[in-house]
Amino acid sequence: MMTKEETEKFKQELKERGYKLTPQRRAILNVIIENEGRHLSPEEIYEFVKKECPEIGLATVYRTVQLLEKMGVLYRMNFDDGVSRYELVKNTADHQHHHLVCLKCGSIEEVEDDLLEVLEDKIAQKYDFFIKNHDVKFYGFCKKCRK
Amino acid sequence: MMTKEETEKFKQELKERGYKLTPQRRAILNVIIENEGRHLSPEEIYEFVKKECPEIGLATVYRTVQLLEKMGVLYRMNFDDGVSRYELVKNTADHQHHHLVCLKCGSIEEVEDDLLEVLEDKIAQKYDFFIKNHDVKFYGFCKKCRK
DNA sequence: TTAACTAATGAAAATATTTTTCATTGGGGT
DNA sequence: ACCCCAATGAAAAATATTTTCATTAGTTAA
Ligand SMILES: [Zn+2]
Ligand SMILES: [Zn+2]
Ligand SMILES: [Zn+2]
Ligand SMILES: [Zn+2]
């Protein structure tokens, strides 16, 4: 659950862009914060948020995650399972972290280490391409599934 | 256009798995080969292949690219533009190459250098995860769009 | 506090991509 | 040439997402 100060900060950020703080938006952001690390889909967020906000519509969830993405609060990701998934942007790192996707059990693990500076510098030079962010997934088999 | 030998090889690979060589499959693979580097979607493949095979159905294109993916001939990729895109698996490298995606013009450039061995070794150790392949996209601005 | 303005909402319809169904065709082995 | 069953095209269905629209409700300023 967001603290009063966090809610106030969120309200401010919305206001700056001409948006309003609604109970639905607060509830959706709460669900995402409370499930940090889970990479929820709109449908999954909807199921959680209905507990708090039973009258909410799925379209509002879609609209809100898109809004939060535009505001830089969320990242949208695609793990090739047919749905978009969202996670909080960590303001500690300027680039998105990497993901380990298990081909057997589908688990998604986060990788702290970035370690792409060398490669990115090389690419920037060789291809004359300014890199703003990256999307790095490693597919393979997790510890559990290799036993 | 595939040579007679390439077609024969394709037919063999199909046969090994109990599949048949149809004019549709040949035409679809031809389109993909002739557009190497273009990352075509099923709909785009369909438009090309209709010139050769006007009676073909879109469902056959979908079925065929999935078959070719299962056979290890194609990779399916997602550039977040709402469609799947396919490209030939290059049998020179064991891992898929990286892509530079321009956030302005949408162009997709391929990166020869892999340079992920160090990172992958580190991940394999630290996270006890066996890496089979990766999906690496760099988002940013291409040379042309930075002018 | 109230009134006014307009953004946001829920429900339903629409859209877009992909998959499935099913009757028919045709590849490939005999 | 014949048979078997995999493959096909067309249409329907399934799935995820977006849009429409009438109504509700934040926010601001009188
Ligand atoms: Zn696993
Ligand atoms: Zn993550
Ligand atoms: Zn560009
Ligand atoms: Zn490529």
Q: Are residues B84 and B102 in the same domain?
A: no
**Model confidence pLDDT, tens digit, residues A103-125:** 888 899 999 877 888 889 999 99
Q: Is B139 inside any structural domain?
A: yes
Q: Are residues A80 and A139 in the same domain?
A: no
Q: How confident is the model at residue A29 (pLDDT cuts 50, 70, 90)?
A: very high
Q: Which nucleotide is nearest to B43 (CA to C1')?
A: C17
Q: Which nucleotide is nearest to A62 (CA to C1')?
A: D17
Ligand 4 centroid to residue B99 C-alpha, Å: 6
Q: For strand C, is any atom closer than 7 Å to the CB of B15?
A: yes
Pairing of strands A130-141, A98-102: parallel
| CATH code of the domain covering residue B53 | 1.10.10.10
- Choose the mutation target among A130, A142, A144 for the interface with B, i.e. most B CBs under 10 Å: A130
Q: Is B136 inside any structural domain?
A: yes
Give every CB contact of residue A31 below 8 A, 6+ residues apart in sequence: A40, A45, A48, A49, A52
pLDDT for residue B93 is more than 80: no
pLDDT for residue B76 is more than 80: yes
Q: Is A93 inside any structural domain?
A: no
Question: Residue A1's pLDDT is what?
Answer: 84
Residue A30 one-letter amino acid? N
In this complex, do A133 and B139 lie within 8 Å of one another by their Cβ atoms?
Answer: yes
Residue A74 one-letter amino acid? L
Pinpoint the alpha helices (H) of A71-142: 117-127
- Ion ligand 1: residue ranges with CB closer than 5 A: A 102, 104-105, 107, 142, 145
Q: How far is CA B119 from CA A119, A135, B122, in A?
A: 10, 15, 5
Q: Is B61 inside any structural domain?
A: yes
Cβ B104 vs Cβ A107: under 8 Å: no
Q: Are residues A65 and A35 in the same domain?
A: yes
**Model confidence pLDDT, tens digit, residues A32-79:** 999 998 999 999 999 999 999 999 999 999 999 999 999 999 999 999
The two structure tokens encoding residue A67: 């809004």
Query: Which among B42, B57, B88 is the end of a domain?
Result: B88
Query: Is B145 marked as binding a ligand?
Result: yes
Of B113, B134, B143, the CB nearest to A129: B143
Q: Are residues A117 and A74 in the same domain?
A: no
Q: Are residues B50 and B79 in the same domain?
A: yes
Residue ranges of the annotated binding site of A are: 102, 105, 117, 134, 142, 145
Mean pLDDT, to the nearest integer, of B72-96? 91
| CATH code of the domain covering residue A125 | 3.30.1490.190
Question: Residue A42's pLDDT is what?
Answer: 97
Q: Is A73 inside any structural domain?
A: yes
Q: Is B93 inside any structural domain?
A: no
The gap between A4 CA and C17 C1' (Å) is 42
Q: For strand C, is any atom closer than 7 Å to the CB of B84?
A: yes
Q: Are residues A112 and A76 in the same domain?
A: no
Q: Are residues B82 and B102 in the same domain?
A: no
Sheet strands (E) in chain A: 74-78, 84-88, 98-102, 108-111, 130-141
> How many domains does one find in chain A?
2
**What pTM, to 2 d.p., does this model score?**
0.91
Query: Which among A50, A69, A88 is the end of a domain?
Result: A88
Q: For strand C, is any atom closer than 7 Å to the CB of A55?
A: yes
Domain that holds residue A106: 98-146
The CA distance from A32 to A20, in Å, is 19
The two structure tokens encoding residue A101: 């996707």
Q: Are residues B48 and B110 in the same domain?
A: no
Chain A CB contacts of B118 below 8 Å: 115
Question: Residue B142's pLDDT is what?
Answer: 94
Sheet strands (E) in A20-147: 74-78, 84-88, 98-102, 108-111, 130-141
Residue ranges of the annotated binding site of A for Zn(2+) are: 102, 105, 142, 145
Of A113, A123, A137, the CB nearest to B135: A137
Sheet strands (E) in A10-97: 74-78, 84-88
Q: Are residues B122 and B142 in the same domain?
A: yes
Q: Are residues B14 and B84 in the same domain?
A: yes
Q: Are residues A15 and A81 in the same domain?
A: yes
If we measure between CA atoms, which residue out of A92, A110, A107 comes closest to residue A37? A110
Q: Are residues B80 and B47 in the same domain?
A: yes
User: How many pairs of residues across A and B have Cβ atoms under 8 Å apart?
Assistant: 107
Query: Which among B70, B88, B106 is the end of a domain?
Result: B88
